[in-house]
Amino acid sequence: MTFAFRLLGSVSLLLHLSFLGSRAIVQQTELDPDTLSLISFKDSLENPQLLTSWTLATSHCRWQGVYCQNGRVISLVLPGCSLRGPLSLSIFNLTSLIRLKVLDFGGNLLFGELPSQLGELTRLEVLTLGPNLFTGVIPPELGNLAKLRSLDLSGNALTGNVPTQIANLSRLQVLAIGNNLLSGSLSPTLFSNLQSLTSLDVSNNSLSGHIPPEIGRLTNLTDLYLGINHFSGELPPEIGELSNLQIFLSPSCSFSGPLPETFSKLRSLSKLDLSYNPLKSSIPKSIGKLLNLSIINLVYTELNGSIPPELGNCRNLKTLMLSFNSLSGPLPEELAELSMVSFAAEKNQLSGPLPSWLGRWTQIDALLLSNNHFSGKIPAEIGNCTMLTHISLSNNLLTGRIPGELCNAVALLDIDLDSNFLTGTIEDAFVKCTNLTQLILVDNQIVGSIPDYLSRLPLMVLELDSNNLTGPIPVSLWNSMNLMEFSAANNFLEGTLPGEIGNAISLQRLVLANNQLKGFIPREIGNLTALSVLNLNSNLLDGRIPSEIGNCTALTTLDLGRNRINGSIPEDLADLPQLQCLVLSYNDLSGIIPMKKSKYFHHVSIPDSSFVQHHGVYDLSNNMLSGSIPAELGNCVVLVDLLLSNNILSGEIPRSLAGLTNLTTLDLSGNLLTGGIPEEFGESLKLQGFYLGNNQLTGEIPESLGQLSGLVKLNLTGNKLSGSVPSSFGNLNGLTHLDLSSNELNGELPSSISEMVDLVGLYAQKNSLTGHLDSLLSNSMQWRIEILNLSDNHLDGLLPRSIGSMSYLTSLDLHRNDFTGEIPSELGNLLQLEDLDLSSNKLSGQIPERICGLGNLISSNFTDNRLVGPVPENGICQNRSKLLLDGNKDLCGGTASLECHIKRFGRRWPLLNIWGLVTVIVIAMLIGLSVAVVRQAWINRSTRKNDPEYAEDSKLNSSTDQHLCFLSSSRSKEPLSINIAMFEQPLLKLTIVDILEATNNFCKTNIIGDGGFGTVYKATLPCGKIVAVKKLNENKTQGQREFLAEMETLGKVKHRNLVPLLGYCSYGEEKVLVYEYMSNGSLDLWLRNRSGTLELLDWKKRYKIAVGAARGIAFLHHGFTPHIIHRDIKASNILLNEDFEPKVADFGLARLISAYESHVSTDVAGTFGYIPPEYGQSWKSTTRGDVYSFGVILLELVTGKEPTGPDFKDIEGGNLVGWVFMKIRSGQAAEVLDPVALDADSKQMMLQTLQIAASCLSDNPTKRPTMLHVVKFLKGIKEE
């Protein structure tokens, strides 16, 4: 009992003490508003557990990041703590944190809008809220913080203008609002009142307008960051008043030159970056007065002129970056006295010999002079640059031997000398480069053998392609433990591949194609488990394929084509899990195709470090393989091109092949295949090339093939196919070649074939086709067909006159049919016709004289018909060797060597005499009438020619004047022998007055674009149609005749992925084009989206844009004659309609290139970031240059980044291309993908698109795919 009482007393005492403690805590809390505010802030966070020290057990003054004075909070500093949540209003409680002087929440994950209550913390001296995830506008109330010395809101997503109230912060020394989404211009009051500023950062926003001259009042400013905005105009002269300015970084704006003369007054300036601005001027000589300069970056500023010698006065200059400009002339010797660390002048037009004084730059680390016009020898004095690690002299005009003294620079890591004219051997050139990791000598004229000492260097990359190297590959090279890439293709290397090749265990890429290597492929190659690419194509290798290659499990590409390899294909190849390109064509392989369950061509993903270029290629063509085609191939889902032609394969075509959803090309021609064509192929919707010719296939052609809307070529020649041609073929809108020849087809050709408007070649000879041609040629005016061969059939009836509308026709073969009637004189309209064969028919009448006058006609065959009358004596009909007439017994004269006797036509002469007399009388009357009309017109003109009103009316209204606007195009007289334009609508004529009214006198408010060729206005025509009107710059236009000819040609360029040219207008010196209006603007607008007002472009839309744009460019290159080189492909020239269907703009405004000429334009156009590397040397535009530019577009779609920008200033090349390739080489390809478009479904497609882009961006133009291949590759991508 006593114990119980004691226990009860103890409990009571504890409860009492607990109550007192709680009361004390409550009383303390009530007396401590700072604690309440801080706890409230903590509780508002999504991850409050990160603030572990913030507990009531300790005083708030001892909490992490909290600093007190006399028990009250004066500083709250929590940077980089990963705090997530909104900025709690509790912090702004005036009764608590009113004494706060420092508030630093930078480097967290705080979100929401910035509270206007921030303006109530009037004692704040430092406010740091960046970087975080804040949105909304900058509160104007911040202008109330009169004591503020530092304001940092950078690295958020703030929008709107910079509030003018900020100008009230007269004590402000640091203003950092960069890396946001701010817009509008900078108010002059900001610069007028903030005279205490030492650092101003507004970079990486969407600010625009000019820099106000009031900036000159910021005389205390030391750091100025304006870059990555839309600022424009020239820098104001007042900027020269910033005498304390040390750092001026303003890249990627739209500042124009020249730099003001007062720039030379910035005597404290140390770092200057104006890269990626269209300065379009020369480097001012006065820059030599800036003696403290240590870094100058003027990359991509469109500089011209020469490098001023006065730069040599800047004795502190360490880094000079002048790449990607148009600088010319030699390197000035005055630069020799500088202590240069990095010098880059790539892709300019610098010329002259490389100066020997470069050897005085003993501190230089990187010397980058590629893509210029330097000539002469490489100076040996460069070897004196003992700190040099990187040297790039590629794509110049250098000659002579590579000096051995170069390697006196023992620190050298990378040497790039490709694409020059270097000669001699490399016998001892690099023997002293003991630190060399990369040596690139591609595309020179180096002779001799590959020296043995290279194996003793720590080389990781060795590229010797396209030289004149001979002899064997040194065996010691294979003992290198560092070598990862070795390529020596396109040389004259001999000898064998030794077993020691298995020692190069680090090797990832081995390319020795197009040499003279002999012997077997050694089994030891199976030791190279890291090998990704093995290319031995076009050598003299024989023997069998070693089964040990199956151990090379990292292989993505295996190319052994064009050798003398025999034996069977090892089944082990089917176990290579990464293999996505297999080329064994043009060998002597026999046996069967591996039948086992396979692992190759199964993985859709491409390894980040892979070098695979021909994704999905399975090429066993031109061997002696037998047996059946394995049904297992239908499981190889990666297959894009399946090429098994010209073997001895038999059996039926496996239906499983139709399930290959990525299949683009299927070539099974030249085998012994039997059975029918599986109708399941109608579901292979990505199929573009379908080749089954020269087999023993039977049955009818499946109607389902008409579903292959992407099909480009269909070849079924040389089989035993029967039945009629499917009418569904009319749905094959993209088909260019259709070959049904040498089969047993019957019935009429369906009229639906006339809907195949892209058809170039139609071959249906040697069948049993019947019927007339009228319905087939009903759409002949829209046909672009060049070759039509319907010979050896049973066609009959008259030859339609509509044949004469097939203006692209070069070959017409209708021999051995049953055609009757006369030869239509309209055949004389076929100006491109080269070969004509109408022999062995039942044609009658005379040979039309117009046919003989065709200037391109090479041969014509009219034998075995019923032709009569005299043979024309003009054109080809005068040449007996080119005109065949035998078997027409009633022909006479000309090459028939038969005199046309009058008696033969005697019965007709009386009638002919009468009509001849009438004809002479009528002609005489017409001539007299014409003379009278002309005389009266001359009199009228003479009486009115001085009347100004008449002169003006004649300019604007004359129906025959050239100063007219033509909309939709015309059927008018063709200029300069351009083919007659085929327009979609009747000709609509507009005067220049109509154009002026439609654009409101070319009002600036109607401007929707401004490019290199002119300004684009949104316009509403009198009929209400909205169009885009491009007013060409006067200095960009041609003469009147040339302009009209070019426009008539462009009017015929019709493709769903090209912006249609609706019309054009020429008035005096003014040239105006009328285009279809694109409501969604340009791709550039959507990718940049700096205002944040547009929806985000997901990958589905981006992929659609990539494929469509590729189709449009491919049509320009391959689908139209004359072929068109765009020369300025960029994101702003890809427009989007309301459905985001892309349409390529500005095509044809550069010079047109005839398909019969060189396909090269010598007037180089282009936009920085998209210009291919070879343009800097050859200055010639080619279709391959367009491919490069499109590769940049693909990178923009995949990465979401602009082609140029400050993010890449430390990257080789200084652009997006260089950055992406750096990531790919380091195995980090996935890191370049745009997170905005990236998700689990899109990742693989984006990586595959990246691979396609990489192939387009090859420095060697010949290695780039054509745009037809690009379309095929893009369409072959499979979305998982």
Which residues are part of a known binding site?
1031
CB 998 within 8 A of CB 1020: yes
Sheet containing strand 698-700, edge to edge, reads: 698-700, 720-723, 744-748, 768-771, 794-798, 818-822, 842-845, 866-870, 890-892
Residue pair 856/882 in contact by the 8 Å Cβ criterion: no
For 734-757, give one letter per residue: b (16+ CB within 10 A) or e: bbbbbbbbbbebeeebbbbbbbbe
Q: What single string gives the DSSP state of each residue in 207-242? A: EEEPPPGGGGG-TT--EEE--SSEEEEEPPGGGGG-
SS3 category, 503: helix
Dig out the tokens for 1121 from the structure: 């004659």
Instruction: Pick the catalytic residue from 32, 152, 1128, 1146.
Output: 1128
The rounded distance, in Å, linking the Cα atoms of 34 and 60 is 8
Question: How is residue 122 annotated by DSSP?
Answer: T
Residue 1025, both tokens: 């149609």
Cα-based angle 952, 957, 960 (whole degrees, multiple of 5): 110
Rounded distance between C-alpha atoms, residue 1210 and residue 896, angstroms: 78
Burial class (CB in 10 A: 0-12, 13-18, 19+), 832: middle
Look at residue 286 and give its three-state secondary structure.
Answer: helix
The answer to whether the beta carbons of residues 1013 and 1038 sit under 8 Å apart is: no
In contact, 1074 and 1064? CB cutoff 8 Å? yes
Q: Is 39 helix (H, G, I), strand (E, B) or coil?
A: helix
Residues 6+ apart with CB under 8 A from 410: 386, 432, 433, 434, 435
Does residue 365 contact residue 387 with C-beta atoms inside 8 Å? yes
Cβ within 8 Å of residue 632, ≥6 positions away: 595, 596, 597, 598, 656
Report which DSSP code applies to 872: P
| Amino acid making up residue 412 | L
For the annotated binding site for ATP, the residues are: 1031
User: What are 323's two structure tokens?
Assistant: 């790449």
- CA 216 – CA 932 distance, rounded (Å): 77
Q: Is the peptide bond between 308 and the residue preceding it cis, with omega within 30 degrees of 0?
A: no
The rounded distance, in Å, linking the Cα atoms of 139 and 153 is 11
Told to judge if 1128 belongs to the known catalytic residues of this protein, a careful annotator would answer yes
Residues 6+ positions from 952 with CB-CB distance below 8 Å: none
* Tokens linked to 72: 């009250």
Instruction: Sheet with 206-209: list strands edge to edge.
Output: 183-184, 206-209, 230-234, 254-256
Q: C-alpha distances in angstroms, 1130 versus 1037, 1058, 1068, 1162, 1168? A: 22, 14, 31, 20, 9
d(CA 1183, CA 187): 47
For the record, the structure tokens of 1019 come out as 């316009």
Among candidate residues 1089, 1095, 1100, 1080, the one with its CA nearest the CA of residue 1200: 1089
Q: Which residue carries 């005085």 as its tokens?
A: 360
Cα–Cα distance, 909 to 852 (Å, whole number) = 26
Look up residue 475 and give its two tokens: 């065996």
10 Å Cβ neighbour count for 645?
A: 22
How far apart (Å, rounded) are the C-alpha atoms in residues 535 and 559? 5
Retrieve residue 268's tokens. 């404290």
| Positions marked catalytic | 1128
